[in-house]
Structure 1
Amino acid sequence: MEEVLKKFKPRVVSTGIKELDEMMGSGLLDDSTLLVIYDASSFGWTIGVQVFRRMIELGGFGVITSYSFPISLLEKYALTMQYDFLRDGAEGNLAIVDVIGSIYNLNVNLPFVYYPGSIDSETFLAKMEAVYRRIMKERADSRKPVGISVTVDALPDLFGEDVAMRILRRNLLMKELALMREERERPINILLLNRERASRRFIEWLSQYAEHIVEFRSTSISGVERMIARKSLLPSFTPSEAEFRFEHGNIEIRPL
C-alpha cells in the first residue's frame, strides 16, 4: 500500500524561471499541466516556450505536438525567442509530433519529426499514444519528458468541441492508468491556448483539469502585458500578478 500512496505524492519541479516558480508557489507539481492563456496579439505564449526550453536545458526531453503550425512556421516563432528548436531536435533533445502535417499529408523528412498517420476522432488517441510511446522508447532514454501543445485551441477546430473534450478526458484517464501501472519519469505538459480561438466552455473545461494556470491580458502600455497567476495546486500558492515584457527575444517578469 505504501508504494501506491507514494505515487499520489508528486514532487515539485522547477520551471527554470525563478519569477514564475515563485508565482506558482515554488514551481510546478510533477506530472502536471501548465495552461497558458493569451490573446491573438499577446506574446504570453513565449512563457510556455521558455519553460519548455529551460526544462530541456535542465536535462529533460522535449516533445512538441503541433496542431496548428507546419514545421517552418514553428521555426519562425521559435527564432523570435532566439531558440533554434530544430537544432535541439537534431542533437537528440526533442521530438515533434506533426499532427497538422498528418492531416494534410505534408511530411518533413527529419528523423525527429513523427507522424501519427491518417487520423479521425475515433483513432486519434490510440495513434497518438503509439507515437508517444515510440518516441519515449527511441529517443527519451531516462530523461524527464516535457511536452508542449501548439496550440490546444486547434483541437475543437479539427474534431469539434465535444469530441475534443472527450479526447482530452480519455487522455486524462490514460495518464492516471499509466501513473498506477508504469515505473517511469512522469511528464510536465504545457498547453498553449489562444482565448480568441476557443469558446468559454472549452477554456473552463481545460481550466478545471490543469494544475497550473497563467493568463495574460493586454494593457494600455504598448509592449506591456499583465501576467496573472490564476491557479496552482501547490499549498504555498497565492494568486498574484506581474508586469510582463517581451523584448529582443527575451522575457521579463516584474512581480507587482
Structure 2
Amino acid sequence: MDDVIKTGIGELDTMLGGGLLDDSLVLILYDTNSFGWVLGVEIFRSLVNRNGFGVVTNYSFPMSLLQKYGKMLGFNVKELGESRNMAIIDVFSAVNGIISDLPFVYSPGEIDASTYLPKMVSVYHEILREIGERKPIGLTITLDGFAYLFGEESAMKLLQRNLVMKESARITERRRRPVNIFLLNQDRVSKRFISWISQYAEHIIEFTHGEAPGVEKMVVRKSLLPEFEPCTAEFRFSKGKIRIIPERLEV
C-alpha cells in the first residue's frame, strides 16, 4: 500500500499491521518510570534518516537537558540540527523567557493560549522552506508538557482547532503531509484528556513498567490498518538500545 510507511523497526511494523498510515498521528502512552517514550524517538530517528525532515516541538525541557536525553540514546541533537535535517520549535524556552543561540532552534516568541496557533503556524511556515521536498516528521516532547503549560481545557481546544486547520490544508495545499508522534506521560494528565486525544490518533502504543528495570509490557492499542490484530510484546531498554519481543494476544 502506497499510503503505508514502514517505521524501519520490523517487529513494530508487524504489530501495527504493516507500518504507519501516511499523514497520521502516533500516540505513545507511558507512565513515570517507563522508557516507552524511547520508541517514539526511535521511530522519529528512523523516518528522518529515510529522507525525512524532523520537526521537534519542545514543551517540556531546557535545551541542555533535551540534548542529554538524546545523548543517552546515541542521538546527537546538535549534529542533526546543524546538518539541516531537523528543526526544534522551542515553546518551553519561549514561555520561560529563554532565547537559544542554536541556529536550528525556532522560538514562537511570547506566547499564550490566545496567540498559540497564529504564532506556531508562522514558525512552521518558516521551517517549511528548510523542509523542501522531504517528508515532515513531527515529534511532540511532550503532550503532557503542552497540557501543563496551557491547561488541559485550552490544550484540547487548541489541538482541535489545529486538526481543523490541518484538514483544510490537505485540501488547499500541495505538499507532503507529515507523520506526527506524540509522547504522553499518562501520570501527568487526566483520563479525560487521554480519552479525548486517543480518538484522533491513528495508532496508539501503550507501555507499562514492571518490577524488573528496563523490562516493560508494550501493547498496540489501536492501528487503523486493515491487517491490524490486537497484540502485546515485551519491551526491553538497555544501554540506549531497544528490543521488542512480540506475543500474540488470544482473542
State the TM bucket, normalised to the shorter chain: over 0.9
User: 1:113 is aligned with what amino acid?
Assistant: V
Query: Aligned equivalents of 2:13 and 2:137: distance in 1?
Result: 16
Which of 153, 156, 159 aligns to 1:162? It is: 153
Query: Are 2:35 and 1:82 aligned?
Result: no
Aligned to 1:129: 121
RMSD: 1.1
**Structure 2: gaps of 5 or more residues:** none
Question: Residue 218 of structure 1 corresponds to which residue in structure 2?
Answer: 209
- Residue 85 of structure 2 corresponds to 93
Q: TM-score, normalised by structure 1?
A: 0.94
- Cα deviation, residue 18, structure 1: 1.0
- DSSP 3-state at the match of 1:175: helix
Residues of 2 paired with 1:199 and 1:123: CA distance?
25
Distance 1:239 1:72 in 2: 39
Consecutive unaligned residues of structure 1, counting only runs of 5 or more, are 1-8
Deviation, structure 1 residue 10: 7.2
Query: Residue type of the partner of 1:47?
Result: L
Structure 2 letter corresponding to 1:65 = T
Which residue in 1 is equivalent to 2:60?
A: 68
- CA deviation string 1:173-202 (max 9, x = no partner): 111001011110000000000000010000
SS at match of 1:209: coil
Task: Return the alpha-carbon distance in structure 2 between the equivalents of residues 39 and 10 of structure 1.
Answer: 34
SS of the residue corresponding to residue 136 of structure 1 reads helix
Q: Which residue of 2 aligns with 1:109?
A: 101
Q: Does residue 1:209 correspond to 2:203, yes or no? A: no
Alignment of 1:119-198 (within 5 A): 119-137=111-129, 139-198=130-189
- Structure 2 residue identity aligned to 1:110: L
Q: State the Cα deviation string for residues 96-135 of structure 1 (Å, max 9, x = none).
A: 0000111111111111100001111111011101101100
Deviation at 1:219, TM superposition (A): 2.0
TM-score when scaled to structure 2?
Answer: 0.96
**Contact 1:125 1:167 survives alignment (8 Å):** yes
The residue aligned with 1:50 is 42
1:78-113 Cα deviation digits (max 9, x unpaired) = 111111121000101000000011111111111110
Q: Which amino acid aligns with 1:199?
A: S
Percent identity between matched residues is 51
On the 8 A contact 1:10/1:31 being kept in 2, the answer is no
After superposing on structure 2, the runs of 4+ consecutive aligned residues of structure 1 that deviate more than 3 Å are: none
Note if 1:36 corresponds to 2:23: no
Give the Cα separation in 2 of the matches to 1:60 and 1:254.
27
- For each residue in 1:128-171, what CA deviation from the matched residue of structure 2 results, as whole angstroms up to 9, or x when unmatched? 0110110011x111100000000001222111111110000001
1:209/1:63 CA distance change after superposition, 3 Å: same
Q: The residue matched to 2:112 in structure 1 has which SS?
A: coil
Matched, 1:229 2:220: yes
Separation in 2 of the partners of 1:55 and 1:157? 28
